[in-house]
Amino acid sequence: MPSLCWAAGSECRRFDTTPTPRYTSTRVGKRPEKGFLAALIFACTAPHEPSQITGEATEMPKIITELPGPRSQEIIETARTYEPRSMGDQMPVVWDHAEGCVVWDVDGNEFLDWSSGVLVTNVGHCHPYYVRQVKDQCEKLFNCYDFVTEPRAELAKRLVEITPEYIDKAFLVTTGSDATEAAIRMARRVSDGYEIIGFDGAFHGRTYGAASAGGMMGTKNNYGPMTPGFLHAPFPYMYRAPICQGKSEEEAAQACLEYLDWLVDRQSSNALCGVITEPYQGGAGGIIPPKSWIEGLDRWCKDRGLIFILDEVQSSFGRTGKMFCMEHWDIKPDLITLGKGLGSGIPCSAVVGTSEIMDALPEGSMGSTNGGNPISSAAALAAIDIIEEEHLVENAAKMGKLFEKRFVKMQESFPQLGDIRVLGLMGGLEFVKDPESREPAPELTRQIVWECFQRGLICIAPIGLYSNVIRVAPPLVITEEQANESLDIFEEAMHAALNEVGA
């Protein structure tokens, strides 16, 4: 009987992945009524008691050692010895295995997850249908360069089908940076110009072209000159951007749009090609722009014949309560970059756009060693199946409202929570020393993440332009019970952190 095994020391945990009613998804409550695929997902995810599979307690979370635990400390020491310190600045939790929204470390401690990796595992960790589809493909074919395979062709077709009607082509690559670089190359190839406008605070990846397009200084400082051909304009960061202060959303949006003309008049070499932006700025702190700004930006590009690139690498596949974040607004970007939740674990990214742009590139002019490989394509197809069949877009919208309501309530007794930005299951919580001065509070923010970790809630290290924002991004399968439990932990952690370090 097929099974999935996690090795944990000398232990081996097994559960059946054949279509028999043994595994519970965090979302499936009743059988979907949509043909064979829904039946198969239901069969893999029908109700059970978790202890029947893993033999572990169902209480969530459950901390059984000091943190980090002894085995975790050993592994962290190995990592510190052999890996560069640039690898990360996360809490010292050494992941062993995970299911849904629950993570176990190598010492057997159980955590709730607010990271989804880094907005990757939208369908939850190790969903059994996803595991089965990837496992089946692994037994057939791993890589064949850019020779056509059925999974790659099917994924390209599927992406065209689920994106807006005017989109008719999909180019598959591996990482978000790959997708950004590909979109920039496509835009420049079909344009008479080469200059691309990006925005302050934007993050599009760490390769040179992607970093140059972005406006996050952490990816640029002390790495030498950036790639030429990029201009930068203010993003409507209502809480902090000087151009927005003292203005309404409409006024700030208009000021930022007018700045684009000023920028072009004074800095462009008369070689404009396009504009690239995130629908919300993730790395800068989950900054959601006014509706009038992003819709105005779309019109601004079209009025000038510029290619509009929308970076949906982290905002797509249900994360914001829509399949694609762009659906919150009336916009029609020419190229859309996708990633993270597309593969939901296995690296997979894409650029989708129109034949007018993509077919302008001659045969063989752009390919990828691993892009669209059979395994990542199978994983992405499985992820899309799960998102659609288990109604994860709807769940993200529903749970997002719950999170936002609780955060607003917390703010009443915790004024250091200066700004709350929530869109579906994407959240950015900005902490300040004082709500009047809005002075950033990075030490408090870091301590809150630590206190969450100590209580069994995994958060990504603080983000934002001042490292004072906590990102909220649980898997989209999170249940109301898990949401409330994690929010209770977070509220307790905030007050514990304040007592520890003060504002």
Task: Return the beta strands (E) in 394-462 as ranges.
Answer: 417-423, 426-431, 457-458
CA angle 394, 111, 287 (to 5 degrees): 50
Quote the distance between the C-alpha of residue 3 and its chain's center: 29
DSSP state of 461: P
Please report which helix (H) or strand (E) contains residue 152, including its range.
Answer: helix 150-162
Is 37 exposed, middle or buried, given 0-12, 13-18 or 19+ CB atoms closer than 10 A?
middle
Q: Please, which residues have CB within 8 angstroms of residue 201's CB and are 6 or more apart in sequence? A: 215, 216, 235, 237, 281, 283, 284, 287, 465
pLDDT < 70 stretches in the chain:
1-59, 503
**pLDDT for position 59:** 62
Asked if residues 127 and 349 have their Cβ atoms less than 8 Å apart, the reply is no
**pLDDT for position 221:** 86
Alpha-carbon distance 97 to 310, whole Å?
34
Indicate the pairing of strand 169-173 with strand 469-472.
unpaired
Is 9 exposed, middle or buried, given 0-12, 13-18 or 19+ CB atoms closer than 10 A?
exposed
Q: What pTM, to 2 d.p., does this model score?
A: 0.89
Q: Please, which residues have CB within 8 angstroms of residue 307's CB and are 6 or more apart in sequence? A: 187, 190, 191, 273, 274, 275, 301, 334, 335, 357
**pLDDT for position 85:** 87
Dig out the tokens for 431 from the structure: 């902490």
Q: Could you give the domains of the chain? A: 52-125+392-501 (3.90.1150.10), 143-372 (3.40.640.10)
Give the relative orientation of helices 249-267 and 291-303 as an angle to the nearest 10 degrees. 30
457 strand-pairing partners: 112
CA–CA distances in Å: residue 124 to residues 44, 95, 306:
14, 15, 38
Dig out the tokens for 405 from the structure: 């309501």
Helix (H, G, I), strand (E, B) or coil at 457: strand
DSSP state of 125: B
C-alpha closest to that of 236 among 252, 248, 250: 252
Asked if residues 469 and 457 have their Cβ atoms less than 8 Å apart, the reply is no
**How does pLDDT run across 413-468, given as a tens digit for each residue?**
999 999 999 999 999 999 999 999 999 999 999 999 999 999 999 999 999 999 99
